[in-house]
């Protein structure tokens, strides 16, 4: 499924900083600020005059924990603390004492050694969303329960041919994912290597994390119980309230857009500018495409190129978005202020073709399956194929080294997302129509209300029990999840 030709030999000239906690082999790992941008973008202090809300402070990339000598050693501690959330001080669930925790930055072929320490009063765990790693312990096993006061040591090897891009990490505790992620348990993962596919003129551009993280407030705390998706919700960027994002006229920057919240949608828009997409869900595109706006369900990510226009200010917005008659209506909100200023630079021609992609259009199919989404009239119970999630029941059995075609049928009056663990998939059609610009690769898609999506998924490298589910976590926690067991061996072609 992954382009295998050149990822293992991506450029090694990138400069890396050291990472967290005290590790073995005599190495000391220290949390550091994000590395400075290679291209200047005038991140000097600026007046907040003219801004509608927020601090007017420059956007800060989260600190980074970065692999060294092929190993990322990290320690992530869950605790409830009073911290800065946007422009308020609130009690929240934190990773390493911060609402916007460190970015885990790794390279293809790295080994990850990560201790998860639970200082909270509920069980939790840690899921590395989108990473193509084993679903078995001590790797990305979402069935692990880390009890209060407990520690679990995660250990896994990142494949050398993993696709570069933006991923994220978050709690996947059974029935507790929504409150824990909404409470603050989420952060960014970056797999380096996208620069390999950029022309020389763009290999060292300014890189910005744009982590979209939202909260509802109850008293002096981020709300975690009785969450209502349609309730008033505060939206932050990297945990900041309406920060400034600076860019020079004509400058090209790489923005890593990621919805790392529990439930809500974003429809991202920057007036007068386009988003030039080079990767989605951690999978580089074959051809770069441009969009005036991007719909980003919870869990989805886009890596985009943005070019500065004329000097001035513009709001980075999420536009009003309606998920259907039984869903939610989200209002338009200004998320950040983009400030175009400084010495102009000559705009660089953006690439058209980008990275190699495999195509499963002509693959031999081992099976075809329908996964049907339904819900009760009260919106309190959610189902896949008429069943609610049971961790002790296997719903789908698939075999290693085979390709299957799945049709996700949404028999509800609201949009749902579909997310697969362990393997990416190729989207073949949406509501019976081939997707624009070819069959792109994803691990999280949006399925229209009353509609369907056809995808093809290949089971590479790893066996074990994992899950597929709607990534609106309120829906997942209330049943819209199924157990997938990937088993060894091959099967002959089966067609419905």
Q: 5: pLDDT confidence band, cut at 50, 70 and 90?
A: very low
As beta bridge partners, residue 40 has: none
What CATH homologous superfamily does 7-192 map to? Cupredoxins -  blue copper proteins (2.60.40.420)
d(CA 149, CA 318): 39
d(CA 438, CA 190): 25
**Cβ contact 461:445 at 8 Å:** no
Tokens 């009056």 label which residue?
413
Mean pLDDT is lowest, of 55-64, 110-119, 127-136, 312-321, for 55-64
Percent of the chain with pLDDT over 90: 85
DSSP structure class, residue 371:
E
145 exposure class (CB count in 10 Å sphere: 0-12, 13-18, 19+): middle
| Six-digit token string for 446 | 């949006």
Domain boundaries, the chain: 7-192, 200-340, 365-487
Q: 16: pLDDT confidence band, cut at 50, 70 and 90?
A: very low
DSSP structure class, residue 41:
-
**The two domains 7-192 and 365-487 share their CATH topology (first three levels equal):** yes
* pLDDT, tens digit, 9 for 90 and up, residues 17-63: 333 332 333 232 233 333 333 333 333 323 333 334 455 899 999 99
**Cβ contact 361:403 at 8 Å:** no
**Cβ contact 154:118 at 8 Å:** no
Q: Span 200-340: which CATH code?
A: 2.60.40.420
Residues 6 or more apart whose CB falls under 8 angstroms from that of 363 comprise: 403, 456, 458
| Six-digit token string for 456 | 């093809």
Percent of the chain with pLDDT over 70: 87
As beta bridge partners, residue 338 has: 245, 314
CB atoms within 10 A of CB 144: 19
* pLDDT, tens digit, 9 for 90 and up, residues 171-194: 999 999 999 999 999 999 999 999
Residues 6 or more apart whose CB falls under 8 angstroms from that of 218 comprise: none
| Six-digit token string for 154 | 């995660």
Strands 321-322 and 165-170: unpaired
CATH architecture of the domain 365-487 equals Sandwich (2.60)
pLDDT, position 437: 60
């Amino acid at each position: 499924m992954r382009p295998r030709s050149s990822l293992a030999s991506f450029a090694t000239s990138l400069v890396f900083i050291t990472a967290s906690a005290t590790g073995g082999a005599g190495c000391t790992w220290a949390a550091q600020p994000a590395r400075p941008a290679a291209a200047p973008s005038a991140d000097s202090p600026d007046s907040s005059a003219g801004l509608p809300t927020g601090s007017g402070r420059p956007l800060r990339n989260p600190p980074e924990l970065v692999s060294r000598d092929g190993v990322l050693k990290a320690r992530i501690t869950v605790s409830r603390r009073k911290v800065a959330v946007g422009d308020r001080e609130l009690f929240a669930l934190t990773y390493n004492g911060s609402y916007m925790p460190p970015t885990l930055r790794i390279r293809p072929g790295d080994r990850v050694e990560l201790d998860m320490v639970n200082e909270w009063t509920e069980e939790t765990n840690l899921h590395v969303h989108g990473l193509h790693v084993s679903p078995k312990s001590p790797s990305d096993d979402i069935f692990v329960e880390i009890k209060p006061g407990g520690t679990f040591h995660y250990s896994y090897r990142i494949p050398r041919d993993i696709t570069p891009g933006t991923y994220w990490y978050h709690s996947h505790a059974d029935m507790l994912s929504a409150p824990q992620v909404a409470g603050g348990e989420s952060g960014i993962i970056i797999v380096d290597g996208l620069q390999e596919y950029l022309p020389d003129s763009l290999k060292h551009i300014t890189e910005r994390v744009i982590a979209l993280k939202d909260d509802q407030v109850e008293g002096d705390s981020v709300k975690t119980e009785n969450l209502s998706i349609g309730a008033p919700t505060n939206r932050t960027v990297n945990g900041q309230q309406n920060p400034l994002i600076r860019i020079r006229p004509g400058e090209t920057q790489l923005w890593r857009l990621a919805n790392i919240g529990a439930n809500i949608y974003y429809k991202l828009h920057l007036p007068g500018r386009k988003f030039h997409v080079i990767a989605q869900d951690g999978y580089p595109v074959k051809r770069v495409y441009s969009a005036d706006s991007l719909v980003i369900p919870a869990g989805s990510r886009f890596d985009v190129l943005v070019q500065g226009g004329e000097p001035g200010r513009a709001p980075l917005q999420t536009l009003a978005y309606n998920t259907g008659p039984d869903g939610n209506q989200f209002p338009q909100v200004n998320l950040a202020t983009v400030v175009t200023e400084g010495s102009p630079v000559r705009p660089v021609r953006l690439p058209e073709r980008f990275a190699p992609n495999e195509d499963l259009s002509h693959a031999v199919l081992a099976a075809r399956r329908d996964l049907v989404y339904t819900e009760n009239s009260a919106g309190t119970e959610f189902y896949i194929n008429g069943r609610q999630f049971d961790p002790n029941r296997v719903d789908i059995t698939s075999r290693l080294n085979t390709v299957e075609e799945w049709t996700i049928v949404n028999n509800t009056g609201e949009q749902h997302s579909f997310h697969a663990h362990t393997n990416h998939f190729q989207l073949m059609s949406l509501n019976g129509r081939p997707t624009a610009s070819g069959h792109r690769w994803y691990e999280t898609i949006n399925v229209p209300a009353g509609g369907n999506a056809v995808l093809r998924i290949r089971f590479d490298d790893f066996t074990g029990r994992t899950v597929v589910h709607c990534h609106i976590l309120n829906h997942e926690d209330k049943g819209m999840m199924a157990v997938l067991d990937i088993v060894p061996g091959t099967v002959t072609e089966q067609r419905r």
